[in-house]
Structure 1
Amino acid sequence: MSADSILVAQLRDPKSREAAFRELVLRYQERLYWHIRGIVLSHEDADDVLQETFIKVYRNIDSFKGESKLYSWMYRIATNEALSFLKRTAKIRGGSSEALQQHLVQNLQADPYFDGGQAELKLQEALAGLPEKQRLVFNMKYFQEMKYEEMSEVLDTSVGSLKASYHLAVKKIEKHLKAGLLERH
């Protein structure tokens, strides 16, 4: 029995549920935080979405069938929560998701938790211009170094489609970064 299947069994048992949930949070919060942060960009928003993710995991652990890895299931929840958060935020602001992404990148420099330099900002600008799926795939592959098979479980998409999305994302990012270099010279 794997460590995750033991943890799931403990989460389903009312007697061990609280302790098992604390263990689950300790085990996965950092990985999930950085995954969410890559989507929503802001530290405060990432914390809020992470909290919502763990609430959903806690409430829905009985629906986890074990057909995928536990962290894949949680990543899927985290991804959906982050994307829903962005859609709600864009709707509240009365703009498009693309406009929101540009706004988030602009606010990144003011974020006290952002420790990237100009190169990181330029990369985030390029990412903000990508379609949602390409942005997700790029973040998961480039920043989190996830294998395509793992991404396939999380995003419920074929490996071939993910490879194509990543390739297109890389080409668009390269084009954006090269255009930025040409503007400065």
Structure 2
Amino acid sequence: MSGNSNIWCQKIYEAKASGLILYGRALGLSHSEAEDVLQETFLALIHKEEIPKEPEYYCLRSFRNRALNYRRGLWRRLKRELESHHWFEKSSTESPHERAAMKCLAELPTEQREVIVLKIWNQHTFEEIANLFNLSPNTVAGRYRYGLQKLRVCLKGENYERLESIGEGVAIMDSPSALG
């Protein structure tokens, strides 16, 4: 294939790679495993004869399938269980609130964690996520809602909101009480 025919793939990579790595982390992969799956996914996309009907959806579905297949290996599963307390790699720039939120997110059931990561950090709609999982949008919305409730309980009442412009979590210590 010529370089020009892969421009669609490059655009998806530039737009979605970091979100897919985070999604891989939500699926239980280490950072390097998620990067490996990302590379395998895009190598496969580059070698496709035709551009998929819905390229971003196809990429997400392909990544998810490869990530789930990657996880199935016995040795990887044993390693993951031993290292589960390091689900997110720590950064020297993390605030205590970020560490608490990441710890709580890691403790959620996989189904809820997946939906929250896809909804918040990858900005997918409930309908798009439902199509990915072959579920109803109401089921996906329920997983999202229950996951957020568990995060609130885990965070002991701290209220977290997302900055729309950059998609990062921000802690708001005291939310205003209702008037009257």
2:68 is matched with which residue: 83, 86, 90? 83
Identity of aligned residues (%): 23
2:20 is matched with which residue: 31, 36, 39? 36
What RMSD over aligned residues (CA atoms) do the two structures have, in Å? Answer: 2.9
What's the CA shift for 1:162?
Answer: 0.4
Aligned to 2:174: none
- State the Cα deviation string for residues 50-103 of structure 1 (Å, max 9, x = none): 111112323455594x3xx22111111112223333443xx3155386655433
CA 1:100–1:83: 2 relative to 1, 3 Å: farther
Aligned to 2:8: 24
CA 1:98–1:63: 2 relative to 1, 3 Å: farther
Pick which of 91-100 and 154-163 moved more.
Answer: 91-100
| Aligned: 1:135 with 2:123 | no
Q: Is the helix fraction higher in 1 or 2?
A: 1
Aligned to 1:55: 43
The 2-side partners of 1:96 and 1:145 are apart by 30
CA 1:158–1:94: 2 relative to 1, 3 Å: closer
Alignment of 1:149-164 (within 5 A): 149-164=127-142
1:52 alignment partner AA: E
The 1-side partners of 2:80 and 2:142 are apart by 22
Aligned to 1:92: 75
1:92 alignment partner AA: W
CA 1:156–1:53: 2 relative to 1, 3 Å: same
Alignment of 1:107-122 (within 5 A): 108-109=89-90, 116-122=94-100
CA contact (8 A) 2:21 2:34 kept: yes
CA contact (8 A) 2:112 2:146 kept: yes
Aligned to 2:126: 148
2:65 alignment partner AA: N
| Aligned: 1:45 with 2:51 | no
The 2-side partners of 1:40 and 1:100 are apart by 15
Aligned to 1:125: 103
CA contact (8 A) 2:9 2:45 kept: no
Gaps of 5+ in 2: 159-180
Gaps of 5+ in 1: 1-13, 181-185
1:177 alignment partner AA: L
Pick which of 27-36 and 163-172 moved more.
Answer: 27-36
